[in-house]
Structure 1
Amino acid sequence: MTGEFELVEPEAVDGVGDEWEEIDVEDTEADRIARQRDREFSEFRKRIKNTERFKLEESVFDEATYAAIYKLVQDGYIDAFGGPISTGKEANVYTAKAGDETVAVKVYRINASDFKDMRGYLDGDPRFEGIGQDKRKVVMAWVRKEFANLKRAQKAGVRVPNPIAVERNVLVMEYIATDGDRAKRLSEVDVENPETAYEVVAEYMRRLYDAGLVHGDLSEYNIVFQDGQLVVIDLGQAVTKHHPNADEFLERDCENVAAFFSRQGMAATGEELCEFVVSEDG
């Protein structure tokens, strides 16, 4: 992997984080559509469920998830589904067509068996008080949090997937691809210019922090390379600086990033990176 790893330009960001934004976890239009089960929706559900390239498991997709996809199609955010990009414990990511563009559709599992990891990032954030143990509300809060975090990071000048739309447990965003295939993670490429790559990652971490956010799970597995740029992905768990575990998460991010670049021959340490991230002048 070569290149100068061009930085994107930041926009003006007011305040510290988006911790006071209201995030609604009540029923959405998708829930209402699922309850109504009109003929058009029922036909759509049957067609999607039987599509060979879009194999859906009943344990992953409930009625309202089908309805969320249906609503996104109605609103023009999705025209047709492609194949899976990745599958994970909490979510599957698929490609989809939106006009002439290819987008990524991230579908979070409502019926996942364990939400302990999610709760650790939501607890302590005033936007999510009162959610309790309701799995549906936890997932809906998580998806809306990821959408808000992507927008915040983008304004701060951090190259992230452009967030496009969110409906219930489904997030539509920019598909980060190279030559028609998903972009490679840092863990999957040969970094021929580690010094410049490290500077860009450190600067993005600092910009996130200046915007009031800590990624919370940053490593070579959550940074991809596309067209001369490094792109930070998976911001669902990102927390504001006011989160009670923000400092711990930041230190862990710095240790992970420094450890990766140390393996590339650099004299990077988590402590030094952390000092840079929190410094006012960078």
Structure 2
Amino acid sequence: MTEEFGLIEPDAVEGFGDEWEEIDVSDSEADTIARKRDREFSEFRKRLKDADQFKVEQSVFDDATFAAIYKLVQDGHIEAFGGPISTGKEANVYEALGADGTDVAVKIYRINASNFRHMTDYLAGDPRFDGIGGDKGKTVLAWTRKEYANLERARKAGVRVPNPIAVERNVLVMELVGLVEDRARRLAEVHVENPETAFEVVREYMRRLHSAGLVHGDLSEYNLIVHEGELVVIDLGQAVTVHHPNADEFLRRDCRNVAGFFSRQGVDVDGDTLYDYVTEVDPTP
């Protein structure tokens, strides 16, 4: 892996720590469509359920999930579905054809996510989510909208992330980084010949996130991918504001994880030094 990793330029980000508007988990248009069950939606739902890439998932997709996909198709964000890119306990990611013939990734969170209590650890303590309580469905909807907002906030802060495109209920459409047949590799999977440069980029992205009021909360070599000479930060669903009661704990854990990986690559760094850099108000290179 010989690419020289570069930084992207940030946009102006206002409102320190306010990385999303108030999360609304009330019924969306997709819920209305699901309840209405008109002929066009019913036919769409049947086609989708019969499609090879969805047959295994019929039991975990409720009508409102199919309606969310239907709404995204109607709005032009999805033209056609491809096969699955990845499957997990919380979500499946599919390749799809988006607007203007571009390839996109469609992340579909399971309303009956088996690991939804993991989500509540990152939502609990934030007053915007007080009304959710132990409601599994509302938790998943909030998580999906939060990931979209986090990606948008990170992008504006100059952090290379998959570009968020649209969100509807528990379905998130975003940029497909890499190709299914030639997927982008996680940092843990490649041999980094220039670890000092890679580390400088990662620590700067961590600083930019923090300056924009965000803490990733699960950052490591497994949530950083390499694509065409760029380092891309992924999986921002659990990212929290700096005002979250556990934000400092999450950030220190991120710093230990990142410093541990790069120290194994020969970079002279430790978690405390990285933490000081990330949280410094006006760090000097």
Q: Which TM-score band applies after superposition, normalised by the shorter structure?
A: over 0.9
Is contact 1:107–1:171 with CA below 8 Å preserved after alignment? yes
Look up the match of 1:203. Answer: 204
Post-superposition offset of 1:113:
2.8
Question: How far apart, in 1, do the equivalents of 2:245 and 2:108 lie?
Answer: 28
Is contact 1:10–1:157 with CA below 8 Å preserved after alignment? yes
Offset from partner CA, 1:209-253 (integer Å, 9 cap, x none): 000000000011111111111000010000000000000000000
Offset from partner CA, 1:131-185 (integer Å, 9 cap, x none): 1111111011001111111111011000001000000000000000059532111
Look up the match of 1:11. Answer: 11
Post-superposition offset of 1:272:
0.7
How big is the alpha-carbon RMSD for the aligned residues of Structure 1 and Structure 2?
1.3
Post-superposition offset of 1:39:
1.0
Q: Secondary structure of the equivalent of 1:57?
A: helix
Q: TM-score, normalised by structure 2?
A: 0.96
Is contact 2:166–2:174 with CA below 8 Å preserved after alignment? yes
Is contact 1:18–1:152 with CA below 8 Å preserved after alignment? no
Matched residue pairs, number?
Answer: 282
Pair 1:179–1:117, CA change in 2 (3 A): closer
Question: How far apart, in 2, do the equivalents of 1:55 and 1:220 lie?
Answer: 33
Look up the match of 1:92. Answer: 92
Q: How does 1:155-170 map to 2 (within 5 A)?
A: 155-170=156-171
Question: How far apart, in 2, do the equivalents of 1:125 and 1:42 lie?
Answer: 38
Question: How far apart, in 2, do the equivalents of 1:53 and 1:26 lie?
Answer: 29
Post-superposition offset of 1:54:
3.6
Residue 138 of structure 2 corresponds to residue 137 of structure 1: yes
After alignment, is 14-23 or 230-239 more displaced? 14-23
Look up the match of 1:249. Answer: 250
Question: How far apart, in 2, do the equivalents of 1:236 and 1:222 lie?
Answer: 11
Is contact 1:53–1:83 with CA below 8 Å preserved after alignment? yes
Gaps of 5+ in 2: none
Letter in 1 for 2:229: G
Look up the match of 1:58. Answer: 58
Post-superposition offset of 1:55:
3.5
Is contact 1:54–1:81 with CA below 8 Å preserved after alignment? no
Q: How does 1:1-282 map to 2 (within 5 A)?
A: 1-18=1-18, 21-98=21-98, 99-177=100-178, 181-282=182-283
Pair 1:220–1:97, CA change in 2 (3 A): same
Question: How far apart, in 1, do the equivalents of 2:65 and 2:167 lie?
Answer: 12
Post-superposition offset of 1:116:
1.6
Q: TM-score, normalised by structure 1?
A: 0.97
Is contact 2:155–2:163 with CA below 8 Å preserved after alignment? yes
Q: Secondary structure of the equivalent of 2:57?
A: coil
Gaps of 5+ in 1: none
Q: Secondary structure of the equivalent of 1:274?
A: helix
Question: How far apart, in 2, do the equivalents of 1:102 and 1:35 lie?
Answer: 31
Is contact 1:143–1:170 with CA below 8 Å preserved after alignment? yes
After alignment, is 13-22 or 79-88 more displaced? 13-22
Identity %: 72
Letter in 1 for 2:219: L
Whose helix fraction is larger, Structure 1's or Structure 2's?
2
Is contact 1:216–1:239 with CA below 8 Å preserved after alignment? yes
Post-superposition offset of 1:267:
2.0
Is contact 1:89–1:112 with CA below 8 Å preserved after alignment? yes
Q: Secondary structure of the equivalent of 2:60?
A: coil
Offset from partner CA, 1:49-76 (integer Å, 9 cap, x none): 1112343423321111011001000000
Question: How far apart, in 2, do the equivalents of 1:86 and 1:248 lie?
Answer: 29
Is contact 1:3–1:228 with CA below 8 Å preserved after alignment? yes
Question: How far apart, in 1, do the equivalents of 2:191 and 2:119 lie?
Answer: 32
Q: Secondary structure of the equivalent of 2:58?
A: coil
Is contact 2:89–2:114 with CA below 8 Å preserved after alignment? no
Is contact 1:78–1:96 with CA below 8 Å preserved after alignment? yes
Post-superposition offset of 1:265:
1.8
Is contact 2:72–2:168 with CA below 8 Å preserved after alignment? yes
